[in-house]
Amino acid sequence: MIPAEIELDEQGRLVLPGAATPVPVNRVADHLSRRLRIPSWATDVHVYVHGWQTPPDTATRTALRLLRQALDLYEAVPERYPGLKAGYRPWCVVVRWPSASKRTLGGYRMIRDRAHAMSAEGRGHAPYVIGHLLGYLDKERGAPKGPPVMAGRDGKYLHLMAHSFGGRFVCEAMQRAAERPPVLGWSMARDPRRPFTVDSALIFQMAAPRDVFVHRFGTLFPTADHPGAPLRGPIALTHSRWDRATGFWHLRAEGAAGIGHSGVGVAPVPQFSTRLLPTDTVYPQEVLDHRLVNIDADWLYQGSRLTRLHPSGAHSDFLHPESAHLLLTLAERSR
């Protein structure tokens, strides 16, 4: 599997390898349409945005490892995922951004501020660029056809996954991608009867306040006043008390622990809490069939003895087959 890679600079602008200047805003849509081609063989398109302290090559390896683990699980016991009986052939787009800093309170605050600046209204370009990316993928994938309980023969499913601060970019981008002109340059060519949607979203150890969905991302979810929300399926968020980055450091920087440590606090929609399950255990439909699902991963996302003393703790300890099992289940239930 060869993923596509999208590079952003410190302002969230799209950059090309070796180029001295970023892609002009009015050329982003054209650039994506020329450089990105969804393989015809793919059944599912996954977009991955990494988090704090992640070198670009590590971000790509992380996304590929998760999807390789998911494929291994599916191929080993396909009957555990009956919704995928028509096949599961994932393809991935990796969004990479400058996330390196010292592993100190000052370093955490610097990346927190950078993540905010990259997505700030009127200044940051990250949601705009990723929004264009999602809009392009949504346009090109086609709509899966057939009854919602059956895998479609045509079209591809779109899933988002992110880690840490990458979860902020993903949520901002979904909101932007769901808007109509002038955000998406190709919106005039799209079928207005099929609004932009994401089939599922999975955020590992999100670095954000526990009330962020009330104050910043409320339009992700459909309401009576906002029925055209972009999130068709659930958004699942893992948390672990062993995550020092969103526990100790977030507490010092923000005055309260973050989602990655304690889960979502308040939300504009009803939420549900459950545990990360072993790979040999099927998730009951009723535990994932909610707009927002908190996934308690305390028992697994603990890190090693060394990382427990590390400034970030188990913040990056999510690369387990159990995480891929959750990812694969969300893809299966999207059928």
Residue 130's closest CA among 100, 111, 158?
A: 158
Q: 53 near 98, Cβ under 8 Å?
A: no
CA distance between the termini of the chain: 22
> What would the pLDDT profile of 223-260 be if each residue is shown by its tens digit?
777 667 888 889 999 999 999 989 988 888 888 999 99
- Give me the number of domains the chain comprises: 1
Report the C-alpha gap between 292 and 126 in whole angstroms. 24
Supply the range of the domain harboring residue 90: 4-333
Record the pTM: 0.89
Residue 174's closest CA among 115, 211, 126?
A: 126
Report the C-alpha gap between 84 and 115 in whole angstroms. 36
Q: 4 near 33, Cβ under 8 Å?
A: no
> What would the pLDDT profile of 74-130 be if each residue is shown by its tens digit?
999 999 999 999 999 999 999 999 988 887 778 888 888 888 788 776 667 888 888
Identity at 140, one-letter amino acid code: E
> What would the pLDDT profile of 289-332 be if each residue is shown by its tens digit?
999 999 999 999 998 776 656 667 899 999 999 999 999 999 99
Is-cis flag, bond preceding 311, omega within 30?
Answer: no
> What would the pLDDT profile of 168-221 be if each residue is shown by its tens digit?
888 888 887 776 433 333 333 334 445 678 899 999 999 999 999 998 898 888
Q: 243 near 315, Cβ under 8 Å?
A: yes
